Structures are given as C-alpha cells and as structure tokens.
Structure 1
Amino acid sequence: MGNGHGLVTLLLGAILMGASSFVQGNSSKHVVCYQGTWSVYRPGLGKFGVEDIDPFLCTHLIYAFLGIEETGQLRVIDAYLDLEDNSGRGNIKSFNALKLKNPVLKTLVAVGGWNEGSKKFSVVARDPLKRAKFVDDVVRFLQRHGFDGLDLDWEYPNQRHSLENEDRSNYITFLKELKEGLEPFSFMLSAAVGSAQFSAELSYDIPAIVPYLDLINVMAYDLHGPWDEVVGINAPLYAAAGDASDSTGRMQQLNVDAIVKYWLLAGAPPEKLVVGVPFYGRTFTLTTPDGNQPGSPHIGKGIAGKYSREPGVLGYNELCELMQQEEWTQKWESAQQVPYAFRQRQWVGYEDTRSLSLKAQYVMDHHLGGIMIWSLESDDFRGTCGQQRYPLLHEINRVLFGANTPTGLTQESSDDKPSEGFRCPAGAPEGYVRDPDDCTKFYYCSGGNTHSFNCPVGLNFDLSTKSCDYSSSVKC
C-alpha cells in the first residue's frame, strides 16, 4: 500500500477524531499500545493474535519487535509470523489492516527491545554509512507494509556494553537522520526511553533529542523487581514513606511522579511525554510468609504466569485468574498508590483499574501526552475474570477521554459489513459518506470496500464537516 493512500485515510480520520471531542473533550491525548507479537504462541487462553486486538481502544498500535544488524540492516525476527513470503502467516498485513476498521488508528513498528541489546545500535549509530543504511531500510519497510512510523527502542544508549563513550551524542545524530528520512513521507518517529533520572541522564541529552521525536514513550515501570534486596512494587505513582532515608537519592527517583518531573524539568514538552504503564506485575518469593509488607526480604523471583512462563512476572490476566482460583490477600499501598498481593511466600506488586485510573488522572492533571501500555496481551483481553474485555485499557480510556474509546466509537459500532445493503457507489472517491436513511450511520469508502460506523449516542453525522456532532447542530 502506498503512503499516499494512508495519508488520505489518516487526514479524514483525523477529522473524525476531532469530532469525537464533542463527547470526550480530550482528543489530543494518546493511548500508545505495544503488542509483543510472540504472544500468538502462548498456550490456551493466553494466546493473543491480531484478531484479539480491539482497534478502537488505542490511538497508536506498536508492533514489537524488529531487530537491527551491525551493518545497519533491519532484521525481521520471525519471518514466518510477520511476512507472507514462503507461505508465512502475514501477521504484519493483518496488523495494519486494523486501520480499515478504525481509520483514525496509527500503526508503528518498534525496532529493538531489551533482548536486542545495546551493542548493535551503538555500532550503527557511530557510523554515517550504517546509519544511512538503517534509515533507508526503515523507510522502505514502512512504505512496503503500510505502517505510519517507527518506534526506536534502544535499551539503552551509553549502557549495557563496552562501546559506551559516544552513544549519548551519536543517539542525537541517529534520531536527527531518522527524522530527516521519515519526514518527507509524513512518517512518525517515537522512542521508548529509560525513565529514572540516574539512568536517563547517562543515555539522553533531553533538550537535544526532543525536536526529532513526535512522542517520547517513557518506560516508567520495572522500577522495582527481584534484582532489589527487598520486595517492591513495579511502578509506584509516588515515593514510599521510607524512600527519603536512602542516602544515594536513587530510591526517591523510582516512582512515576519523580520520573515525570525529571523529564519535564530537563526539557521534555509535556504534550510529547507519554507515561508508560505495565499491564504485568513483578513477583518475589518471600524469605518468610509473615514478612509480606513492601520492603520485606526475599530470596529471588516469584512464580511465573502460565501463559507468559517467565519467572518473576505475572500478567494482569494471569494474576486475576490466579486470584479466582486461590486465596490471595490483596492490599493497597496508600503512599505509593498501587496494589500488592501475597499468598504464602509468593508476593506481587502490580496494577489494577484503581491504580491505572490514578495514573491516567495524573496524566490529565499534568497535561501530558498520554499513556503507553506494555503490553496488550497482558490485559484481561478475553474478560475471563468477570469484567468486560480489556478492563485496564477501558479504565485508562475512561479517564483520558470520558468515553470507552478515544473516538467514542467501539468494535460493536463498526464492522466491515454494510448496513441494510448500503454499498459505496462504484468509483466513489475515498472518504466518508452518510447513510441516506439514518443520520447516525456513516460509511468509509475505500478501494471499492464499504466500512460501517455508528455515531456515538446523541450524535449525527454532519456532511459538511465529515464528523459526528450534536443532533441539534446537524442538518438531517
């Protein structure tokens, strides 16, 4: 698919999104959702494919991950899953086809991640020819597959390996050249970045990188885990009562509030700053069953989830299922504004709808760009725990938009089957048309296909603005 087609879709989609502000008032907020594509190989109810993504719950979907070679080449990690060549499963094509259901949606591909390491990025970033190769590969890949941009996930410049000396300045050059390569095609550039001050200041010259990034996805999680001497909660909103007694000053930096204030003070514009939240908890094995408060001693990682199968980690879906089957004691840590739970010697600090509601409200109060989620497959995406599907994601949307979704539209209010036999006229230009008999219904015509939508309750589709508006304002 050529990028021109995508731009027309997105421009018209943006008009629709603007209209949703009649319902929500906050169409500028972003909900940036990563999918770890390997989750399609998980067993049982944990299996998560593109068909499980609700395309209306996020403003940006990020396909994670591609890799990078030391030559500067882009590397497809799972060609059988990602591509259609050689009878592959064509996952990327299905992923980007979600924009046919929700034309407002933007899709990006992420390169990197923790497992990809730092060294290869470092080697490429220091070499002008390798940087140019990477930029060229990225542009061609985005064009070929219909993505709207790149998310650079180098974890982390100037850390984790021996080629550290020049990373901080080379990262700036790398972003600058990526932006220059992407901009002519209106492709986005975002980056996933380290969060706490003592780490971030090693990696980033914040005022220097800001001009080249459309969104800065701050990974404000993994702030505590089994690598610590005592148990702690994955992503506290505020500092714990005892953090101030840490003579190094590091403990006071390990909370969302301190992270956001550091990035803002260092020069990040609030509207570009997107706060990352985890849809998983960090688990520990306690030294004794009785020592179950935050700050208690432990002997290492706790249990693994039955889907993610990684010791020390429990997805929200895995935890809520466990809590249905076993007796866990659930507690609220009032200073840090996050929950934790324990059962015998197993302990987990995690997120629930209450803590995520508070984080989303923090984003609203500080006029930040939005919330980033790692990652979709860890929400209760099937609704097996007795709530609706995607309870965590719905709660974030409710706070940011005052509605279930960023657009006010839902999976149920749109489908690919034309309503009551309506078809886009042959040769119709790409764009939105209203149902001739029902002003609450409208259609998106694209390449001979008809995609159906309903306006949110109380709104009609306005032909002059190509958007949903209050019924009293629409000539019907």
Structure 2
Amino acid sequence: MLIKLLLLAVISTAVFASTDKFVCYLGSWSNYRNGNCRFTIEDINPNLCTHIIYGFVGIKNDGTIRIMDSWLDEDSGLGALRRFTGLKQKNPNLQTLVAIGGWNEGSPGFSKVVSSPTLRAAFISNAIAFLEKYGFDGFDLDWEYPSQRDGSAPTDKANFSKLLAEFRQAFDAHKPRYLLTAAVAASRASVDLSYEVPKLSQYLDFINVMTYDLHGAWESVTGHNAPLYPRSSETGTAKTLNIDSCINGWIERGADPQKLILGIPTYGRTFALSGSNKGLDAPASGPGSAGTCTAEAGYLGYNEICQKLKAGGWTVVRDPEHKVPYAYNGNQWIGYDDAEAVALKVKYAKTKGLGGAMIWSFETDDFKGLCGTVNPLSNAIKNALDVSPEGPGGSDNSSSSTTTTTTPPPTVPPTVPPTVPPTAPPTPPSTGCTCGSTGYCRDPINCGVFYQCVGKTQYRFECPAGLYFDVSISACNYPSLVKC
C-alpha cells in the first residue's frame, strides 16, 4: 500500500511539473492602433512566454503562403516577421511560431489544398521554406474550421488529419525539427464536426484550445466569454459552454491532456442591456459599445476594461459558480477575466495535467501598465505556472506588483480586424437588412454594418473603423476589396 501511495505521489508530481508551456499569440494588426493602443514587436517581453505565435499569414489555392501585409511583415517594409523571430536573441530559450489562417481566412483555401496529395505536399514544402527564410521554430495551423463555413467540405475533417500526418513526417525529418501546433475550436459540437481528435493528439506537438468566445452578443442574453465551470441553473447546450466541459470533451474524444494548452482570453465580451436585470442571462439588445483601441462593438481588450473600472462607476461581480467576474455600468455589461480568474484557470490546467496555458493575445493585456501593473494577466498566468528563470521562458522583469440560451453561439468572434491600416470610408446610417435564413447579411446603406440572423431575429454588429463587411467571405475586409 505504501509503495502504491508513493507511486501515486510521483505521478502527481510529474503531472504538475509538465504544465509548463505559456503560449502567447500576437495579432499583428495592432501595430496600426494609435497612441497607447499601438502594440509593436518591441512591446513583447521575450522572457514572459515560452512560445510566441505571430498571427497571421494566409494560404493560397496552390499551397503557397500568402503574406497578408507586405509593408508590415516583409523585410522591404517594417520587417515584423524577422523582428519577431529576432526576439530569440534576447532569450535563446524562446520558441517562435507563425500562425496560418485565422477567422478572416476562412475555409476555402485550406479545403482545396488538403483535398489533394499534390497540393498538400506543396503546402508543406512551402511552409518549411517560409520557416527557414524567417527563422521560425514552428508552424501553427489556425484553420477556422475544417468541415465548417462556406467553402468547406465534409471530407475536410479526414483530410486535415492527412495533412497533419504528412506535416509531422516532414518536420521530424527536418534539422532542426520544427514544432507543429494548431489552434482549435473548444465546444464539443464544433470538435465533433471538425477533428479526428486522436490523430490531432498523435501528430501535433501541442493543441491550443480556444476556450473563449463561449458567449457573446450574438446571443439575446448576457453570458460570460470564458466561464471556468457551469452554473447549476444551466441546462442543455448552455451547460457545456464552459472551460471544464470543453477540456473534458477533448480528453474524452482521445486527446492526451499533456498536449492540450488551455486558452485564456485577455479580452472580454460585452452587451447592451435592455432591462433592469444586470446579472448573467439578463436580456440584451446587442453588443456593448466599441472601445477606443479594439474599435469593435461587443469586444473590449483588458487594457480597455481595466481603465473603465479604474475610472469608476462600475459594479463588479464575481460569479461563485463560473469563477469569473463580470461588470456593469448603466446599460453596458462586460464578461472578462482578471488576474484572480486567470490564476484559477492555470490551477485548473495543472489539476487536469494539461500542457500549459495560452493567451489571445499580447496586445490586449495592459501592456503599458496604465492601470498600475505591466501585463497583469500574462504575469498572473506565468506566476501561476511557476515557470522558473532557468525554464523555457526565463524570468520577467517588466512587471511591478499585483445562461440559459437555446441558440448556440458562433464558434469564433464575428469579426477580426485585418493586418493593414484601412482608409476610413464615410459611415452613413444603417437601416437593417432582410434575413433569408440563418447567417449574416449586410446593411443595404452602411457597408460597415452587418447583422447575424437567427430565425427572424437580427443582431447588429459593426466592422472595425474603416472596414466594410464582405458578403463573399462573411467577414470584415478592406473597402478596396469589397463590392459595396
């Protein structure tokens, strides 16, 4: 019996010691924000995360890699890609990856490439050449999502596994060996549509589970962006829209827990309240007001949230079952993560024996320390992971101290800003549009406004300033590329 207990203690210690990866994404378009909102490569502390991922590059139908913003990314312009990998000069233990895809990229290019053995081989060869050119340590596949959205096919699920197997073989043969990772959907329903989980677990070095956007202004009542556990009052689908259910779903479907990286948002989802109820499941008329940095209705970076809370007038509530806070002021409602919430999520990851934690993304933490502490969320995660100075990420010296809904949400946010500075078009008033079926439609007068249609109900959204909604890809895009 004593031997058995000692063995269990050793296993337990090994599990906790393995939760050591801290993966941090960069949304490169934040380079074009103004003032204290602007985030550049030089704002990244290279000793904070163990792995950093540059988002995004795109995929062409012939399997080549598409630079999305040549002025920002390439050496002939601002050289952001090489500046990003150059951070390893300050921390040789840091590992850098580039992410291909993202919400705006959609499925068509991926679907075409994975369906052909010839195109898959070309894609892998082009990826290796890209990593070699810019000095990256790995490749992160952010296909949102196989067998989902326009341009996808039912065969994408199996073909994605084939692509990963072939990537794995090529990366293992390469010297140095490249990392292969993926950003994946969290909810059980989306996982079942898109992934052969045991094969992803076999071929990927680690799996970045996007355990956020579980509720948002696409719903008619308030809900938290990334609740840790369900509430006792939740039933049906709502009871599965939390981190614990999502992670258990991945494990139940065959994922090695040590391959799973727990996604933690450095932003919140917002609502405009439509009544006197200020709590969870309160009636909402649409998204909350856009912030000065992120400029997207229904979405606020933590750097925007903390300044609002600091200014006063907000009531903060920490839900005892979800284990996360929300705040309200007038008709504005925010569900977000603070330092206490993210530390608790890291503790959860350790308890489950996961491989570590991930943030989306660098530029929405309080990276300027405007609320008192530089990168408060990232540092809370790092401290809870207890990554030692001798470990993969080194030390961080930059900081000071401190629903019941029957409509399933989209699996990703409705819009993601692109990676080039837009030219602001005029913004006429919006009038609504005719919903033919569930999906999205654009306002007939204001091309920067679009609506999500759920039955006969419309939910209004606005593109980031200066962008138009592109009906061909169901995402916001540059005005020059949109027929308006």
Which structure 2 residue ranges, 5 or more long, are not aligned? 1-15, 399-484
- CA drift of 1:304 comes to 1.2
- For the pair 1:223 / 2:229, whether they are aligned, the reply is no
How far did 1:259 drift?
0.8
Q: Answer yes or no: is the 8 Å Cα contact 2:48–2:393 preserved in 1.
A: no
Q: How far apart, CA to CA, are the structure 1 residues paired with 2:351 and 2:316?
A: 28
Say whether the 8 Å CA contact 2:272–2:332 is kept in structure 1. Answer: yes
Equivalent of 2:242, from 255, 261, 264? 255
Counterpart residue number, 1:47: 38
Partner of 2:208, secondary structure, is: strand
Task: Report the Cα distance in structure 2 between the residues aligned to 1:355 and 1:385, rounded to whole angstroms.
Answer: 17
How has the CA–CA distance of structure 1 residues 407 and 111 changed in structure 2, closer, same or farther, with 3 Å as cutoff?
Answer: closer
Distance in 2 separating the partners of 1:241 and 1:39: 39
2:125 to 116, 132, 136: 136
Partner secondary structure for residue 190 of structure 1: strand
Closer/same/farther in 2, CA of residues 336 and 412 from structure 1, 3 Å limit: closer
**Greater shift after overlay, 266-275 or 394-403?**
394-403
- 2:164 is equivalent to residue 164 of structure 1: no
CA distance in 2, matches of 1:161, 1:353: 38
| Alpha-carbon distance, 1:198 to partner | 1.0
Give 1:322 deviation, angstroms: 1.6
2:163 paired residue number: 174
Q: Which residue of 1 aligns with 2:353?
A: 367
Tell me if structure 1 keeps the 8 A contact 2:26–2:362. Answer: yes
Amino acid across the alignment from 2:193: L
Q: What is the RMSD of the two structures over their aligned residues, measured on CA atoms? A: 1.6
Runs (5+) with no aligned partner, structure 1: 1-24, 414-476
After superposition, the C-alpha distances for 1:297-337 in whole angstroms (9 at most, x for unaligned) are 10111111111111110000011112222411111111100
Q: Offset of 1:229 from its aligned partner?
A: 2.1
How high is the TM-score relative to the length of structure 1? 0.78
1:333 & 1:96 partners in 2: Cα distance? Answer: 40
> Is 1:389 paired with 2:378?
no
Contact 1:394–1:404 (8 Å) recurs in 2: no
Q: Would the aligned equivalents of 2:216 and 2:224 in 1 still touch at CA under 8 Å? A: yes
In the TM superposition, residue 411 of structure 1 has moved relative to its aligned partner by: 5.2
Contact 2:32/2:38 (8 A) holds in 1: yes
Give me the whole-angstrom Cα distance separating, in 1, the residues matched to 2:209 and 2:42: 28
**Aligned-partner Cα distance in 1 for 2:296–2:283:** 21
The reply to whether residue 277 of structure 1 matches residue 268 of structure 2 is no
CA distance 1:200–1:408, change in 2 (3 Å): closer
1:5-404 equivalences under 5 Å are 26=17, 29-85=20-76, 88-185=77-174, 186-244=177-235, 249-288=236-275, 290-386=276-372, 388-401=373-386
Return the alpha-carbon distance in structure 1 between the equivalents of residues 241 and 182 of structure 2: 20
Q: Is the CA contact (8 Å cut-off) linking 1:220 and 1:259 kept in structure 2?
A: yes
In the alignment, the residues of structure 1 paired with residue 387 and residue 204 of structure 2 have an alpha-carbon distance, to the nearest angstrom, of 28
Contact map agreement 1:57 1:404 (CA 8 A) in 2: no
Higher mean C-alpha displacement, 397-406 vs 277-286: 397-406
Per-residue displacement from partner, 1:270-307 (whole Å, max 9, x unpaired)?
Answer: 1110011110000110102x211100110111111111
Task: Name the TM-score, length of structure 2 as normaliser.
Answer: 0.76
The aligned residue for residue 453 of structure 1 is none
Q: C-alpha separation between the residues in 1 aligned to 2:394 and 2:129?
A: 32
Q: Is the 8 A contact 1:121 1:154 kept in 2?
A: yes
Give every structure 1 segment of 4 or more consecutive aligned residues whose post-TM-superposition deviation is greater than 6 Å. Answer: none
- Residues 404-458 of structure 1 deviation map (CA, whole Å, 9 limit, x = unaligned): 8955843559xxxxxxxxxxxxxxxxxxxxxxxxxxxxxxxxxxxxxxxxxxxxx
Relative to structure 1, the CA distance from residue 412 to residue 210 in structure 2 (aligned partners, 3 Å threshold; closer, same or farther) is: closer
Distance 1:406-1:347 versus aligned 2 partners, 3 A rule:
farther
Q: CA deviation at 1:369?
A: 0.3
Distance (Å, rounded) in 1 between the aligned partners of 2:210 and 2:394: 28
Cα distance in 2 for partners of 1:32, 1:71 equals 30
Shift of 1:28: 5.4
SS in 2 for 1:243: coil
For residue 265 of structure 1, report the CA deviation from its aligned partner. Answer: 1.3
Q: Distance in 2 between matches of 1:207 and 1:410?
A: 35
Deviations 1:111-144 (A, max 9, x none): 0001111121111110112111111110000011
2:9 corresponds to: none
**Residues 370-406 of structure 1: per-residue CA shift (max 9 Å, x gap):** 00100010101111101x2111011111111165895
Asked whether the 8 Å contact 1:27–1:401 carries over to 2, the reply is no
Alpha carbons 1:151, 1:191 under 8 Å: kept: yes
Question: Aligned partners of 2:21, 2:388: CA distance in 1, in Å?
Answer: 14
What CA distance in whole angstroms lies between the structure 1 residues aligned with 2:71 and 2:322? 43
Matches of 1:402 and 1:150, distance apart in 2: 23
Q: In structure 2, what is the Cα distance between the partners aligned to 1:402 and 1:145?
A: 27
Contact 2:111 2:151 in 1 (8 A): no
Structure 1 or 2, whichever has the larger Rg, is 1
